[in-house]
Amino acid sequence: MATKVLMPKLSDTMEEGVILKWLRKEGEKVKQGDILVEIESDKADMELEAYDSGLLRKIVVPEGGKAPIGALIAIIGGETEDITPMLSEAPPGALAKKMETSAAPTPTISGKPALAAAVQPTDGKTKASPIARRLALQNKIDLSRVPGSGPQGRVIKRDIEGVISGEIPAAGPAPRAIVPGTAEDVELSGIRKTIAKRMTESKLVAPHFYVTIEIDMEPAMAFRDQIDNVTGLKLSFTDIIIKAASAALMKHPQVNATYLGDKMRQYHFTHIGVAVALDEGLVTPILRNCEQKSITQINSELRDLADRARARKLKPEEYTGATFTISNLGMFGVDDFVAIINPPEGAILAIGSIAEKAVVKSGQIVVGHAMKATLSSDHRVIDGAVAARFLQDFKKILENPAALVV
Amino acid sequence: MAIVSLREAINQAIDEEMARDDRVFLMGEEVANYQGAYKVSQGLLQKWGPKRIVDTPIAEAGFAGVGIGAAMVGLRPVIEFMTWNFSLVAYDQIANNAAKMLSMSGGHFNVPIVFRGPGGSAHGLAATHSQALESIYAHIPGLKVVMPSTCKDAKGLLKTSIRDDNPVVFIESEVMYGDKGEIPDGEYTIPLGVGEVKKEGKDLTIVSWSKILAHVVLKGVDVLEQELSISIEVIDPRTIKPMDYDLIVKSVKKTNRLVIVEEGWPFAGVGAQISHEVTARAFDYLDAPVERVTQEDVPLPYAKSLEKHSLPNIQKIRQAVKKVMYLES
């Protein structure tokens, strides 16, 4: 019996998915458990396995196409089964789009049938000279990934020849040429849409307030050097800050909390999300149970999570379920900033740069290193004094980092 | 192989065709007693007599019409315009009678006539005496348009034009009459509608013809190749209509880039037509939009300083070449 392949729900916030790549062609055999298709959700790229065996009878949503959760994206069935009744469930536009692609006449050049247009850029916006387009097609090069050296980034023959000869890496998408005096519309990525929706929601629903504290970072810097010397690792300040925040959160569960309408939930564990910037937006991979982890563990886990976040290879459970988030823009030299709470969390900590400045120590003005941290809190669960006490402890820990290893 | 001037090559073609076919005669202003305004018909009156080398009054519409009538009843006139600028006075005869007679007479009257003379600019002749009119003749169905750039081509093409059973517009160049070149010994002809690769190359095709090809393109192309480290192919269609598109398309498929250089104005020029045909037939081979170098869209200025800026020149060609080669800074 024929079975439907439906758009899966790949994250809590996913509403629709984009088909990145079909790994089976129509008419090919599929075994249960085979990877069938790659799908882009609002958070990550995921692979979907086939739940049934049979022939991939019909691809309903082509590569580059979008479908909402639960929509029909393909049909697996026997060779002779009638699948027409199922096709009526295709999401509007999906079938039509597919048929347009397959019904287009096959172009021929010099009487020879041309290759199928398999590598045409999905955005249709890549500028390329006709010969570059043809060479790319013949050599199965994705034009949209070739940096164009012609006017306005036009991909020309020498660019493709460079890719073929290996002189030019066909790396990321060609940089957009910026033409002064013009405006351009850029499609929102899945991540961008999620950010737009959730940040708006957060600002509309959660009454934010902000408390900032300045922390003397010299002890933390010395502490880092000591650990680096002992372990041979290269800790980042983020590692230390995560550990310090975790320790402070364990003392102040009111800050590690979620507003639930008629009650609030306070957590006695710390799942800390760390914002990682990508070209298309940001994701927050999560370090679970930081209270149980050593700084060196946090260091290696964070490194791995951030790498995979940048490769968009995080699994949903790796970016959902945080109780608290830290956003560090210190590396950009900002003094301080305020962040928007990532719901349903109750607070987010925004970290500025560690700056050399004049500080007063024991009545003397000396050169010190200070860092500002700003806590954004949801006033429905956190009051000003609670936030202040949390920051006070956070500061105390960072200024006395031995606390982190006892 | 003999070395002759362009005027000698044309003279030989007329002379040989007059010897070959006694229906051939030459008619125009100053062609007989004065031996030709540019001495193209030197010696022909003495050799063939006043019945076949005929001086006319200054009345282009009149003698063009007389020629067409003669052709309709079986003769093969060669009508000389002192320059093609003056052919505009006879444009009605050429465009309406010569070009359309075969069609409008239901095939009863063909018009085997050659209109010939120098076209384009010379030096300081001002707007009305400096016109490259090939596009307005090539525009008319029923006319063939021939524009040689060498002595050899001029002789071979003129002989073929005189033998053609339909009207041929044969445009020479005043400033080329003294140009010397080799011509084959003995009888030879060159078919209409067949272009020639004047120089082989691989990165870029330049199509040009007549004086601009001989005096501008071919004189500057070596320098451009050296300066820009590129290899340029130069094609001379030789006949504007019918145009040898196959040759051009074949070349563009190899080089992927085309620049057309012509003396005429840009609007609806011959280059526009070539550009369209190449875009249609070799679209998938182009690496850059086709570029054209033409005369500026103004009546040609008399002042020398402005004249040279209005006409196609090597600076403009360099700019177009750099553009299609993506060498702009």
**CA B279 from centroid of its chain's CA atoms:** 24
DSSP per-residue letters across B181-208: EEE-SS-----TT--EEEE--SSEEEEE
pLDDT at A100 over 60: no
Give the minimum alpha-carbon distance from A149 to chain B in angstroms, rounded to a whole number.
8
Contact B285 A131 (CB under 8 A): yes
CB B291 within 8 A of CB B238: no
Whether residues A294 and A394 fall in one domain:
yes
Distance of alpha carbon B295 from the chain centroid = 16
Tell me, yes or no, whether A38 and A113 share the same domain: no
Q: Are residues A77 and A118 in the same domain?
A: no
Residues A302 and A373 in one domain: yes
**Residues in chain A closer than 8 A to B287 (CB atoms):** 129-132, 156-157
Whether residues A266 and A313 fall in one domain: yes
Domains and CATH numbers, chain B: 2-183 (3.40.50.970), 196-324 (3.40.50.920)
Written as one string, the DSSP assignment of A61-125 is S-TT-EEETT-EEEEEE-SS---HHHHTTSPTTHHHHHHHHHHSPPPEETTEEPPPSTTS-TTS-
CB-defined contacts A:B, below 8 A: 30
What distances in angstroms separate CA A323 from CA A123, A253, A255, A396, one per listed residue?
A: 38, 10, 9, 22
Q: Which two tokens stand for residue A387?
A: 């936030």
Structure tokens at B80: 């000389």
Kindly report the CATH number assigned to the domain that includes residue A142.
Answer: 4.10.320.10
The ipTM estimated for the assembled molecules is 0.74
**In this prediction, what percent of chain A has a pLDDT beyond 70?**
89
Question: How high is the pLDDT of residue A106?
Answer: 36
Cα–Cα distance list, B43 to A345, B63, B186 (Å): 106, 22, 20
Q: Does B288 touch chain A (CB under 8 A)?
A: yes
Assigned domain for A178 exists = no
User: How far apart are the C-alpha atoms of B29 and A302, rounded to whole Å?
Assistant: 95
Contact with chain B for residue A129, Cβ under 8 A: yes
Mapping DSSP to helix (H, G, I), strand (E, B) and coil, where does residue A39 land? strand
CATH classification of the domain holding A76: 2.40.50.100
Among A91, A118, A141, residue at a domain's last position: A91
Q: Chain A: nearest CA to B287, how far in angstroms?
A: 5
Is A157 near chain B, with CB under 8 Å?
yes
Q: What is the DSSP letter of B291?
A: E
Closest CA to B38 of B78, B90, B81, B99: B81
pLDDT of residue A104: 36
Q: ω into residue A344 within 30 of 0, thus cis? A: yes
% of chain A beyond a pLDDT of 90: 38
Give the pLDDT confidence score for residue B196 in this predicted structure. 98
Q: What is the pLDDT of residues A306-350, one digit of tens each?
A: 888 887 778 888 888 899 999 999 888 899 999 999 999 999 999
Q: Name the 3-class secondary structure at B276.
A: helix
Q: Are residues A133 and A49 in the same domain?
A: no
pLDDT of residue A119: 34
Which residues of chain A have a CB within 8 Å of the CB of B285? Answer: 130-131, 134
Q: How do strand A281-283 and strand A276-278 relate by DSSP bridges? A: antiparallel
A142-163 residue pLDDT tens: 888 888 888 878 899 988 988 8
Distances (CA, A) of B192 to B2, B153, B162, B212: 23, 10, 11, 20
Strands A347-361 and B168-173: unpaired
Domain-terminating residue out of A33, A61, A91:
A91
* pLDDT-flagged residues of chain B (< 50): none
Q: Which of A30, A64, A91 is the last residue of a domain?
A: A91
Residues from chain B that touch A132, judged by Cβ atoms under 8 A, are: 287
Chain A residues lying within 8 Å of B203, measured CB to CB = none
Give a yes or no: residue A398 inside a domain: yes
- Considering the domain architecture, whether residues A26 and A79 belong to the same structural domain is answered as yes
Q: Is residue A261 part of a domain?
A: yes
> What digits encode the pLDDT tens for the residues A102-136?
333 333 333 333 222 223 333 456 889 999 999 99
Is the domain of A262 the same as that of A401? Answer: yes
The helix (H) or strand (E) run that includes residue A394 is: helix A384-399
Same domain, residue pair A306 and A159: no
Inside any domain, residue A173: no
Cis peptide before A62 (omega within 30 of 0): no
Q: Is B250 on the interface with A (CB under 8 A)?
A: no
What pLDDT, on a 0 to 100 scale, did the predictor assign at position A110?
Answer: 34
Q: Is the pLDDT of residue A90 over 80?
A: no
CB-nearest partner of B326 from A109, A131, A149? A149
Position A183 in a domain:
no
Chain A nearest-CA distance from B195, in A, is 22
Q: Give the pLDDT of residue B258.
A: 98
Comparing CB atoms, the residue among B286, B326, B328 nearest residue A131 is B286
Sign of CA dihedral B170, B171, B173, B179: negative
Shortest distance, CA A125 to any CA of chain B (angstroms): 17
What is the C-alpha separation between A59 and A37, in angstroms, rounded? 10
User: Which residue blocks in chain B are alpha helix, DSSP H?
Assistant: 6-20, 44-48, 60-72, 91-92, 101-104, 134-138, 151-163, 210-211, 218-228, 245-255, 270-281, 304-310, 314-324
A86 and A155 in a single domain? The answer is no
Q: What local confidence, expressed as pLDDT, does residue A98 receive?
A: 38
Choose the mutation target among A120, A131, A137 for the interface with B, i.e. most B CBs under 10 Å: A131
Residues 254-293 in A contacting B (C-alpha not used; CB under 8 Å): none
**pLDDT score, position A125:** 67
> Between chains, do B287 and A130 touch, taking CB under 8 Å as contact?
yes
Question: Would you mind telling me the total number of residues written for chain A in this entry?
Answer: 406
| Tokens 């030989």, located at residue | B12
Residue range of the domain that includes A130: 108-165
Distance from CA of A130 to the nearest CA of B (A): 5
CA distance B9 to B4: 6
Quote the CA–CA distance of A236 and B176 in Å, as a whole number: 80
Q: What is the pLDDT of residue A113?
A: 30
pLDDT at A170 over 80: no
**Does an H or E element contain A184, and which?**
none
- Nearest residue in chain B measured CA to CA from A107: B284
- Average pLDDT of the residues in A273-300: 89
Is any Cβ of chain B less than 8 angstroms from the Cβ of A109? yes
Q: Can you give the pLDDT at residue A46? A: 81
**pLDDT 10s digits, A13-45:** 778 888 888 888 888 888 888 888 888 887 778
pLDDT surpasses 80 at A177:
no
Which positions in chain B touch A129 (Cβ < 8 Å)?
A: 256, 286-288
Alpha-carbon gap: B256 to the closest alpha carbon of chain A (Å): 7
B256/A157 touch (CB, cutoff 8 Å), yes or no: yes
Residues 131-150 of A with CB under 8 A from B: 131-134, 149-150
Do the domain assignments include residue A175?
no
Task: Give B119's strand partners.
Answer: B173
Asked if B228 reaches chain A (Cβ–Cβ under 8 Å), the answer is no
Mean pLDDT of chain A: 83
Residues A384, A280 within the same domain: yes
Any alpha helices (H) in A252-378, and if so which ranges? 295-310
d(C-alpha A54, C-alpha A35), whole Å? 14
Distance, in Å, from the CA atom of B317 to the CA atom of B280, rounded to the nearest integer, reads: 24
Distance CA A255, CA A251 (A): 9
Q: Using an 8 Å CB-CB cutoff, list chain A residues near B256.
A: 129, 131, 157
> Quick one: closest CA in B to A160, which residue?
B287
What is the CATH classification number for the domain harbouring A377? 3.30.559.10
Domain count, chain A: 3
Signed CA dihedral, A186, A190, A196, A199: sign only: negative
- A20 φψ region: left (φ > 0), alpha (ψ -120 to 50), beta (else): alpha
Contacts 24+ apart (CB under 8 A), A158-166: A158/B326, A159/A132, A160/A132, A160/A135, A160/A136, A161/A135, A163/A139, A164/A135, A164/A139
The shortest C-alpha distance from A189 to chain B (Å) reads: 32
* Chain A CA closest to residue B284: A130
* Residues in chain A closer than 8 A to B283 (CB atoms): 130
Using DSSP bridges, classify how beta strands B76-80 and B114-119 pair: parallel, antiparallel or unpaired: parallel
Contacts of A130 in chain B (CB under 8 A): 283-287
Amino acid at B138: A
Is B283 near chain A, with CB under 8 Å? yes
Contact B27, B75 (CB under 8 A): no
Of residues A406 and B121, more confidently modeled: B121
Q: Helix, strand, or coil here: A378?
A: strand
Q: Are residues A81 and A125 in the same domain?
A: no
Question: Cα B262 to the chain's mean position, in Å?
Answer: 11
Q: How do the residues of chain B divide into helix, strand and coil, expressed in percent and rounded to 5?
A: 40, 20, 40
The per-residue pLDDT for range A341-379, each reduced to its tens digit, is 999 999 999 999 998 888 888 888 888 899 999 999 999
Contact at CB, B286 and A130, closer than 8 angstroms: yes
